[in-house]
Amino acid sequence: MSQDKKNELRHSSKLDVLRKHPIFSDLEPAAFDQLCRYAKLSSFKRGTTICSKGDVGNSLYAVISGTVKISTSSAEGRSAILNLIGTGEVFGEIALLDGGERTTDAIANSDCELFVIDRREFIPFVRSQPALAMKFIELLCARLRWTSEHVEQIILQDLPGRVASALIRLTERHQPSAAGRTITVTQQEISEMVGMSRESINKQLRAWETRNWVRLEHGAIVVLDAGSLQALADAGSKGE
């Protein structure tokens, strides 16, 4: 097989990731082919800033491989992680649709490949596809619900409830296996998600590890008993 053919097959497999996203899955073949002509493949090394808070929102991003950290920081240097965007997900839709500034930073949490779709091409495309516009409305509603739940958890839940809720949110993207669900996330990242110190996070996770609810690995957490964590998240009860 020629190198050009191999490259074509690899590009086709990456477009399949885009095709499987709920927003684009119902597009007619001709419309999806048109969308693909707008999608430019870009690679980002771990730690690279993809876009920053305050930037003009001129692109939509789709993650083909890797993980992107959506975060914000204070003038004093404190950071808060709002979301981790994984393979098959999109981000940047708010500023893309309204043409305003980016509301958060997006940083490559690992080496990433992204499809980047320019606003100048995408907005006319959306206008020509009413069903696609409805899909974006649904996506924005889902984001708003998720944000409301996240704020509620931070304000109302104790530490165990916050950590359990964060782990459950992250595991929803992973299919369970006999060994559990593996989440590629560090304890520092969990601490920035829930607004507590890394030391407190470590203590809580160690307590759950003794109960066989989780298993701690280097740079990852394996959820072994999602049911117990879900119960704790629902109750927001105190205790380790």
**Domain spans, the chain:** 3-143, 157-235
Q: Is the pLDDT of residue 179 over 70?
A: no
Residue 106, strand partner residues? 51, 70
Name the band, by pLDDT with cuts 50, 70 and 90, for residue 175.
low
How many other β-carbons are positioned within 10 Å of the β-carbon of residue 231? 12
Q: What is the pLDDT of residues 120-149, one digit of tens each?
A: 999 999 999 988 989 989 988 988 888 888
pLDDT for the residue numbered 31: 92
Q: How far apart are CA 230 and CA 225, in angstroms?
A: 9
Q: Does domain 157-235 have CATH number 3.40.50.1950?
A: no
Superfamily of domain 3-143: Jelly Rolls (2.60.120.10)
Mean pLDDT of 77-86: 86
pLDDT for the residue numbered 238: 44
Name the band, by pLDDT with cuts 50, 70 and 90, for residue 224.
very high
How many other β-carbons are positioned within 10 Å of the β-carbon of residue 239? 10
Q: How far apart are CA 135 and CA 49, in angstroms?
A: 28
